[in-house]
Chain A
């Protein structure tokens, strides 16, 4: 059973305002790392917004996840600039290092691996984004060193 006190608190800070749905979902995802069904049901009941509408919003935006995600979200940029500067090689290395495919979580739930199409930092490509920080000018060696930093906490 998912603990619903966190989502109740999030709803409270937004004054149970229907128009704040996306912000509420973002804050709730911050708390639970993903959006469990129970949490969405709670939001639906408290905001008096039909579940179908919330589901529509959650599946529309790529930023929301209905599946559990790892502690750190590692997004490898596959945009044109990063691609020509070696992003595919970095992806292969990271895939092997973490033993996952893009979109999956590592077994210890430490990482979720993603590919993104451009993070807007083409000048320092190839770029990898871990949580909310960008790391540029990477090589496959550097990317593994980077991930090792996040392995412990």
Chain B
């Protein structure tokens, strides 16, 4: 166990614990955007940056993926950290002024008018890559890529056209921190405007509610290697059957 001092609170942490885990345990608030418990933290959005002191040396690190490997002093609200967070929010706000999540954070840190200007501003995407990560690591279909690089970098389906591997599960919609990925369920179809992909929704055999896409059922059948009641009935009906 290592000695950890976070914002004046003295505690202990096991090797390889991340700063964010310690902060959550000690109820110290660190803002996050691209962090999600279910996937490997990448430190893409930089908003969780904190100042650490190891052997008398101070440096700025991302709390979400910094493993504690020795005694450490952490300051999550130092002047340097706040200055950097404001800058990051300024950049994010310039790119995604329509995103409620970014607006909220910017307001909290006192950022109103970013000094940077970007041409295209109706997009809410902060290019954190969570959608790509969840599609690859959790869903396992790898339908999305982070294409191009630098300022052009963006999540998209290969060739920016309807994906042949996407199963329409909506994990990317669920995980997106800024609601940049959307899906529309309408007239028995599910459409992802960002991925330009459409699916047919399938009815639950008991209650007639639309609950899954046809591609999803096909994929699950393949993965499970057999037919299963959960591919025919919606979760609500399944829970009723179990009772």
Which residues of A does B touch, CB under 8 Å?
37, 50-56, 59-60, 66
Contact = CB atoms under 8 A, between A and B. Distances in A.
B143 interface: yes
23 contacts: A37-B159, A50-B136, A50-B142, A50-B143, A50-B165, A51-B158, A51-B164, A52-B136, A52-B142, A52-B143, A52-B144, A52-B158, A54-B158, A55-B145, A55-B147, A55-B158, A56-B145, A56-B146, A56-B147, A60-B147, A60-B148, A60-B149, A66-B159
Nearest to B149: A60
Interface string B160-192: 000011000000000000000000000000000
Given A59-B147, A59-B148, A66-B159, 8 more contacts: A50-B136, A51-B142, A52-B132, A52-B136, A52-B157, A53-B145, A55-B147, A59-B149
Closest 7 interchain pairs by CB? Answer: A50-B142, A52-B145, A55-B158, A56-B145, A59-B147, A51-B158, A55-B145
A50 B132 CA distance: 12
B159 A52 contact: no
Nearest to A57: B145
Contacts of A37: 159
A102 B137 CA distance: 39
Contacts of A52: 132, 135-136, 142-145, 157-158, 165
A61 to B, nearest CB: 9
Contacts of A66: 159
Nearest to A40: B158
Nearest to A37: B159
Interface residues of chain A: helix, strand, loop or mixed (majority): helix
Nearest to B164: A51
Contacts of B165: 50-52
A117 B104 CA distance: 40
Contacts of A55: 145, 147, 158-159
A54 B164 CA distance: 15
A59 B147 CA distance: 6
Contacts of B135: 52
B197 to A, nearest CB: 13
Contacts of B145: 52-53, 55-56, 59
Contacts of A59: 145, 147-149
A77 B148 CA distance: 22
A50 B157 CA distance: 11
Query: Which of A54, A56, A66 gathers most chain B CB within 10 Å?
Result: A56
A66 to B, nearest CB: 8
Contacts of B149: 59-60
A49 to B, nearest CB: 9
A59 B154 CA distance: 11
A60 B153 CA distance: 9
A59 B135 CA distance: 19
Interface in B114-162: 132, 135-136, 141-149, 157-159
Nearest to A61: B149
A85 to B, nearest CB: 28
A37 B147 CA distance: 15
A64 to B, nearest CB: 12
A53 B142 contact: yes
Nearest to B135: A52
Nearest to B147: A59
A107 to B, nearest CB: 25
